[in-house]
Structure 1
Amino acid sequence: MKRKFAYCQDGFTLIELVATVVIAAVLLATVIQVISSLGRTSQIITQRTKQSLLDPPWQRRIKAQFKRDFDHATSVDILRDRIELQTLCEIDPFDHERRYIPVRVVYQAIGRSEPRILVRRQYTHPQIQRSKPNVDLIAIDVVQFDVSRLELEQLVQPDEQPSEVEIKHQLPYAIKLYCRDQEALEFELYAQMQIEGAS
């Protein structure tokens, strides 16, 4: 009498192996993509962190405000305790939109002792001496606020000569703002106006 033995198969079929390899490849590609995305994100965060340390948002805001006023200035007067500009950049006190309207702007550090606060006063009707200004707070804990006019020679290399256009339309100023427990803010900008006595 013959006995029949059942055939017992060990291992995986070719189809199972191929399916396993495909699934592993998909998972590996996903992991690689996530890791590379994390690397790019880390680089972006590092760059933004460095930029924020070099130029924090409050400094960018102040620079932008000064640049807007100086870009449209028709006159700049540096006085002992303040700086006054006749400019064509009005900021609406309600919607904060900028309009091309003549205004008088005064930057002044206010306070009996240090630290003080830096304010921007905008007189919408500069010809009226007693008109009520719109006052914006620019910075607090101000230890020092200086504005000085630079000579053109300070910005021109020895082998260069300023062009007629630069002399007539760009007057350089240096602004220094020191606030307590903050990085010093020092920058240069140009008033887009004609220098007196330039030919």
Structure 2
Amino acid sequence: MRVASLMNVLGRGWLLAERALQVFHSTARETRALKFNYPKGTFEAWAYMTCMETVSAILSQVSQVTFEDMTSSLLLIRASLWEYGLKKLYKLGEICQLVPTSNAPDENQINRITSGITQQSAGGDSEDQGRLLVATLMSKQQFTSKYLELGEMVIGAFKHAGRKRTACSVGLDMAKFHVELGQIEEAERLLSDMCSLYSPENWTIFSANTISLLAE
């Protein structure tokens, strides 16, 4: 986090962002290889908060510039980091039993994760992200609200970066989440949006699969 803060001060947060996903993947591989014994959910919480902090560092450097002036690579970095954070947030939801398919939240697991976040927060944006994540894990309702909000951000970010297929993939996952919540109309809205993206690109197989989901 100190390195992230320093690079942000130097105006090079974008460079850190380019390497962030590599760091996440290599850290996951190394912890598995070395068989580190750490509390369940620790890596997911760290990865999620770091993704959010890194994107915040990027946006702080382009706050005076419209998104239309951002380079395509920078837009893609932002989208990719948010998507990785979305996946880790969902994994945390599974661990804490906050996803729609879970019966009841695992209070013991939630307490273990949130107490660790509180102890490790280093101040500044790190502390803010820690506080936000703790609040997100406090209930199913708060988790659901944050997950859906971030999901919409990811879809929009990939569309803006010109990665329609990835936007569609995330959209399908979000539609399934809405179905699990019993929010059929929201799922239909997302799936219809995905169809509108598939058709002009002649992605007939993907379009057919999406239409099939809509029919269900």
Range of TM-score over shorter length: under 0.3
Instruction: Give the structure with the larger helix fraction.
Output: 2
Structure 1 length-normalised TM? 0.25
Which structure has more relative contact order (CA 8 Å, sep 6+)? It is 2
| Structure number with bigger Rg | 1
Structure 2 length-normalised TM? 0.23
